[in-house]
Amino acid sequence: MRIQAKANEGFTLIEVLVSVLILGIGILGVLNLQTRALMDNQDAYLRTQAIFLAYDISDRIRANASVWQAAITNNTVNTITQNDASGNITGTYKFCSTYDPVGALANNLVVPGACTTTEMAKYDIYRGRKDIEALLNNGTATITVVDDPITSGTTLDVLRLTISWARVNQDMQNILANASYSLDVRL
């Protein structure tokens, strides 16, 4: 009777190293995907905030439509929004709300209900700008008068509200560093 030696079964060191290398590459790919997904999620959140803020400002404009319509007619929209050379909204305004800022009511900076409709329009833009600055990365807002794209050929004008912010998920060439959202407000 002859006894045969069993061949060693198992993995060689080279096989183990190759499998660890493949596993490591796979894990790095999954980590990269997870990182990109988190950045895309943050970009989506910022876009949602920009849309929310744009609709908030448009509601404020519509609530005070007579002032804005007069500003369009008289070509004085910039005196309400106080745009700088780049078109971004600047300036400070009389506080027309008891919620802004802390201590304003005590220091007679605001008297509730004492704002005119023009002061209220300026305050609404100021409040919108402060909200944009607080919620969006490098957020800016512009308001311009444009021809109504739907009813071309008429004299109807609309206010175009554009909110811009810095994106979180930028590509390597930095092509899409900024994002923006525009909303046309018809009075």
Mean pLDDT of 46-65: 93
Please tell me the predicted confidence (pLDDT) of residue 97. Answer: 66
Split into its structural domains, the chain has a count of 1
- Dmax over CA atoms of the chain, in Å, equals 114
- What pTM does this model have? 0.73
Confirm if 139 and 164 have CB atoms less than 8 A apart: yes
Asked if the structure places residue 87 within a domain, the reply is yes
Q: What is the DSSP letter of 107?
A: T
Band the pLDDT of 85: cuts 50, 70, 90. Answer: low
Confirm if 174 and 167 have CB atoms less than 8 A apart: no
Could you read off the pLDDT of 14-36 as tens digits, one per residue?
Answer: 888 999 999 999 999 999 999 88
Asked if the structure places residue 163 within a domain, the reply is yes
pLDDT exceeds cutoff 80 at 60: yes
Asked if the structure places residue 1 within a domain, the reply is no
Please, what is the average pLDDT of the chain?
79
Segments forming the whole domain that contains residue 53: 13-185
Asked if the structure places residue 79 within a domain, the reply is yes
Asked if the structure places residue 165 within a domain, the reply is yes
In degrees and rounded to multiples of 5, residue 184 shows phi and psi of -90, 130
Asked if the structure places residue 175 within a domain, the reply is yes
Asked if the structure places residue 5 within a domain, the reply is no
Asked if the structure places residue 4 within a domain, the reply is no
- Closest CA relative to residue 161, chosen from 175, 179, 141: 141
Confirm if 135 and 124 have CB atoms less than 8 A apart: no
Confirm if 133 and 117 have CB atoms less than 8 A apart: no
